Chain A
């Protein structure tokens, strides 16, 4: 399979997965670009015994998590940079801009706050939740992508759900209401 065929078959996978991590069109396109540059360079050395899509999932997840870390760092030092570069009058784009093209306008507010909570989860919990609940992968597929056992995936998703519930409604009564 040549590079163009790999792109045609997997561009949707990479772009949509990156979108669930960064929730921003521009950032997701940048990640997609980076992932395919990596794929282009590593494709000749790809081990044909493993599944190509699993490998692409792993590269996309790692690149997305790295991107988020870099964004966090940039945000942390952004204040200092702005102090030294006052002459740049160009308005700086807020890093946390929610611009998810897969979210309809009527659900935007609701999903934006949900994604804000998901972003506060640990990397593994976030990945398990995104792969299973947003991307629709099965427990076994998620386990294979994450290189963990199916039981570990189940536990990660449970803990992620519990953490989200705790954040949404700190009191026990409110949590029961949401679950019902």
Chain B
């Protein structure tokens, strides 16, 4: 084991690494952007859910009135 000598890496390696780092930055979206996108999506979903809940609170239209299906015809009493 003592016969193994310590060696220096090639001088070009630093340039290759810097290139790799730049490539990585290009290919990967920053975590800050991922969180911002997730927050926007969450906000959009919550706004939609609130809107749906508010619309649902309005009373449902009475179908009998809507289609004039009321059995009691009040016309003759007038």
Contact across chains for A29 and B13 when beta carbons are under 8 A apart: yes
Contact across chains for B4 and A33 when beta carbons are under 8 A apart: no
Contact across chains for A102 and B7 when beta carbons are under 8 A apart: yes
Contact across chains for B4 and A20 when beta carbons are under 8 A apart: yes
Contact across chains for A15 and B7 when beta carbons are under 8 A apart: yes
Q: Is A58 an interface position by the 8 A CB rule?
A: no
**For the side of the interface on A, what is the size category?**
20 to 34
Give residues 10-45 of B contacting A (CB, 8 Å): 10, 13-14, 16-17, 20-21, 24
Q: Is A126 an interface position by the 8 A CB rule?
A: no
Contact across chains for A40 and B5 when beta carbons are under 8 A apart: no
Contact across chains for A36 and B17 when beta carbons are under 8 A apart: yes
Q: Is B3 an interface position by the 8 A CB rule?
A: yes
CA A103 – CA B16 in complex, angstroms? 25
Closest CB-CB distance, A112 to chain B, in whole Å?
A: 12
Given contacts A15-B9, A29-B10, A32-B9, contact A104 B3 (CB under 8 A): yes
Contact across chains for A33 and B3 when beta carbons are under 8 A apart: no
Give residues 104-132 of A contacting B (CB, 8 Å): 104, 107, 110-111, 114
Contact across chains for A33 and B1 when beta carbons are under 8 A apart: no
Residue of A with least CB distance to B24: A37
CB<8 Å pairs between A and B, sample of 20: A7-B14, A11-B8, A11-B13, A12-B6, A15-B8, A15-B9, A15-B13, A19-B7, A29-B9, A29-B13, A29-B16, A32-B17, A33-B13, A36-B21, A37-B20, A40-B24, A100-B4, A102-B6, A110-B3, A134-B1
